[in-house]
Amino acid sequence: MSGVSGVSENWRKAGWAGAAIGVMAAGAAAGVAVERITVGRGIRRKARLALDAAGDYGSLRGSEGTCRAEDGTLLHYEVDELPEEGKRRRMGRKPAPPATVVLCHGYCLAQDSWHFQRAALRGTVRAVYWDQRSHGRSARGLAQADGEPVTIEQLGRDLKAVIDAAAPEGPLILVGHSMGGMTIMGFAEQFPDLVRDRVVGVVLIGTSSGRLAEVTYGLPSIGMGAVRKLLPGVLKALGSQVELVEKGRRATADLLAGMIKMYSFGSRDVDPAVARFAERLIEATPIDVVAEFYPVFQTHDKTAALQRFADIPVTVIAGDKDMITPAAHSAAIKEALPGAELVVLESTGHLMMLERPETVTRLLTGMLARTGAVPGSAPTNVGRHGRSTAGSTAQPGTGNGNGTRKGTGNGTGSGTANGADRSPGSSAGSSAGTGA
């Protein structure tokens, strides 16, 4: 009887997991159902193609380079250099190396997720954008091909390899979104001397220092225990059937697009072209990569590593509607680093650098100005790269984009930051994964 009861218990847990995942899909499915009733499949497909062609999102390129991670994985990076006039020698002496901002993207994304910030920062500061292993233009992780699990420590060492290759000297400002922020923590834990000697500022966006296993993703908490136990195995099984799963993803594109939008953005007025851009970024991540990386977040704990930044200016940015790395996780980082500045953006989800591009860019350039990397008057407008030609009048970040500030690196008090984006005419493929 004990064997039978054990099987029954497993089925009960599986039932709770299925119910919880069903709730997760229900919100997206409701919107998709209305769309399918009112809009034909052919029209929806044409609309996607039109949105893909409408904007130049993801088109910005820099001086390309590659470097090898410790396991031999080829990592792709790009550098946006300063204009030549910014490098002139003074009094015949070699100038000090310029500060470099290094931007680290999140799970199921790529360096192009920084599109708006890249558009604003070009010509203002030297910047390095890179693709994490198995993401974007970087190669699949060789260690993972040999069966080794992904670790945050490994990602931190990948960042070190990129810095050694693309920014071997000069001050550093490290910027990380979600998994990119965790990568920075893993880097700091292993290379404290480099952090002490060269890192002059850190910006952590929609990220966490640990306890991600407690996140419910907006699902009923009663079923999340079963979901956490079953999901890694389910993803691993799906990862072993890549071709079949990819066909399924294409067949259910509408539902998955709805789920991506639900988990990526916190407001309803996100430009369709921006939403489609996010969808394309996420759908480009193969399901087996989704499966490889997911388990690392359940055990991630880098709270102690945050102390490497105790004497460095730090800005922490969160979205109050973020269901992937909830704002409470940013508050926990602020608690560990009392001198840090915490800004919580209202009506904002996980992909805040796309949803509130000018607000995030303003906070980023504020950090760059504090560190002396750029003038205090550095531009934050995303310019023509924020415009959509798809005919939409919506703008990224319009609506209630107010942000609440709590403290600063100088220990000043609390106040309110106006986070509403007003980019001129600025605008917006499907996956079982959501960028983290």
What pLDDT is attached to residue 374? Answer: 83
| Spatial separation of the C-alpha atoms in residues 73 and 70, rounded to whole Å | 7
C-alpha distance across the termini of the chain, in Å: 43
Task: Quote the crossing angle between the two packed helices 2-38 and 41-54, to the nearest 10°.
Answer: 80
| Structure-token match 């500022």, residue found | 201
Alpha-carbon dihedral angle through residues 16, 17, 20, 21, given to the nearest 10 degrees = -150
Helix (H, G, I), strand (E, B) or coil at 127: strand
Q: Count of CB atoms within 10 A of residue 19's CB?
A: 16
* DSSP state letters, 337-361: -TTSEEEEETT--S-HHHHSHHHHH
Residues 101/202, Cβ–Cβ less than 8 Å: no
Alpha-carbon dihedral angle through residues 266, 270, 276, 278, given to the nearest 10 degrees = -40
| Spatial separation of the C-alpha atoms in residues 69 and 132, rounded to whole Å | 10
Q: What is the pLDDT along the chain (436 residues), one digit of tens a residue?
A: 444 444 444 434 444 444 444 444 333 333 333 333 333 444 444 444 444 445 678 889 999 999 999 999 999 999 999 987 545 544 456 788 999 999 999 999 999 999 999 999 999 999 999 999 999 999 999 999 999 999 999 999 999 999 999 999 999 999 999 999 999 999 999 999 999 999 999 999 999 999 998 888 776 666 666 666 666 665 555 545 555 555 555 544 555 667 788 899 999 888 888 998 999 999 888 888 988 898 899 899 999 999 999 999 999 999 999 999 999 999 999 999 999 999 999 999 999 999 999 999 999 999 999 999 887 666 665 555 444 333 333 334 333 445 666 664 444 333 334 444 433 333 333 334 556 6
| Spatial separation of the C-alpha atoms in residues 404 and 341, rounded to whole Å | 10
**One-letter identity of residue 232:** P
Residue 202 sits at φ, ψ, to 5 deg, of -140, 135
| Spatial separation of the C-alpha atoms in residues 232 and 293, rounded to whole Å | 10
249 closest CA partner among 211, 198, 283:
283
Element (H, E) at 120: helix 115-121
Q: Count of CB atoms within 10 A of residue 94's CB?
A: 7
- Counting every residue written for the chain, the total comes to 436
- What the block records as the tokens of 286 is 């193969």
- Tens-digit pLDDT profile for residues 54-88: 567 888 999 999 999 999 999 999 999 998 754 55
| Spatial separation of the C-alpha atoms in residues 247 and 230, rounded to whole Å | 23
CA 77 to chain centre: 16
| Spatial separation of the C-alpha atoms in residues 225 and 203, rounded to whole Å | 32
Q: What is the pTM of this model?
A: 0.78
| Spatial separation of the C-alpha atoms in residues 425 and 256, rounded to whole Å | 27
| Spatial separation of the C-alpha atoms in residues 299 and 276, rounded to whole Å | 31
Residue 80 sits at φ, ψ, to 5 deg, of -100, 105
| Structure-token match 């380079």, residue found | 65
